[in-house]
């Protein structure tokens, strides 16, 4: 998994790690979109769709060179609490065209962060699911309370933005 960009560091970027700790928390967010699965998947793997659905302040510093494919890396930056710069380096560790992909944090704010994006037909609509398995450096109690609240706000906002963009013909 070592590749271009995996050695990127930044304030609060943390050490390089992909090892899953014994204790993690999982958050699952599902939404139905009035758009066909191939359109939803293409949106999720396009740079414009990705950037347009991210919370304000998240910037892509490096996009996967070959597009979304297993082993490709990406680098993001945002500001924690609007002040502290955070750099996140991730790798696409699994990819199935039209169905889903998983990104795994190589460096970032979390001790462990693995995000699976899944798309499946749901009648004439599409069911899209974000499944996030994570562990902070602060322990399970903080993960289940403070971080869960932050993740809920971030992912529910993102899904609402995705709905707006996908259903308005983005």
Tens digits of residue pLDDT in 55-106: 888 889 999 888 889 999 999 988 777 777 888 899 999 999 999 999 999 9
Of 133 and 17, which is predicted with more confidence? Answer: 133
Given a cut of 70, is residue 151 above it in pLDDT?
Answer: yes
Residue 153, domain member (yes or no): yes
Quick one: pLDDT at residue 19?
77
pTM of the model as a whole: 0.86
Give the CATH number, domain containing residue 31.
3.30.530.20
Q: Are 9 and 87 in contact (CB under 8 A)?
A: yes
Residue 156, domain member (yes or no): yes
State whether the Cα torsion 88-57-52-153 is positive or negative: positive
Residue 18, domain member (yes or no): no
Q: Which of 137, 90, 94 is nearest to 117 (CA)?
A: 94
Residue 72, domain member (yes or no): yes
Number of domain units in the chain: 1
**Cα–Cα distances in Å, from 5 out to 62, 64, 107?**
8, 10, 10
Q: Which domain holds residue 85?
A: 27-167
Residue 136, domain member (yes or no): yes
- Chain-wide mean pLDDT for the chain? 87
Residue 107, domain member (yes or no): yes
């Amino acid at each position: 998994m070592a590749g271009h960009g995996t050695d990127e560091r930044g304030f609060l970027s943390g050490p390089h790690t992909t090892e899953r700790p014994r204790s993690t928390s999982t958050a699952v967010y599902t939404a139905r979109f009035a758009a066909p699965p191939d359109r939803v998947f293409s949106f999720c793997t396009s740079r414009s769709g990705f950037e347009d659905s991210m919370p304000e302040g998240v910037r892509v510093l490096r996009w996967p060179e070959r597009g979304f494919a297993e082993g490709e890396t990406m680098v993001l930056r945002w500001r924690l609490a609007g002040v502290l710069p955070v750099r996140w380096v991730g790798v696409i560790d699994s990819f199935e065209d039209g169905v889903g992909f998983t990104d795994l944090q190589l460096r970032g704010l979390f001790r462990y962060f693995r995000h699976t994006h899944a798309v499946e037909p749901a009648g004439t609509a599409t069911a899209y699911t974000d499944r996030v398995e994570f562990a902070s450096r602060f322990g399970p109690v903080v993960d289940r309370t403070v971080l869960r609240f932050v993740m809920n706000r971030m992912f529910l906002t993102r899904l609402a933005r995705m709905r707006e963009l996908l259903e308005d013909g983005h």
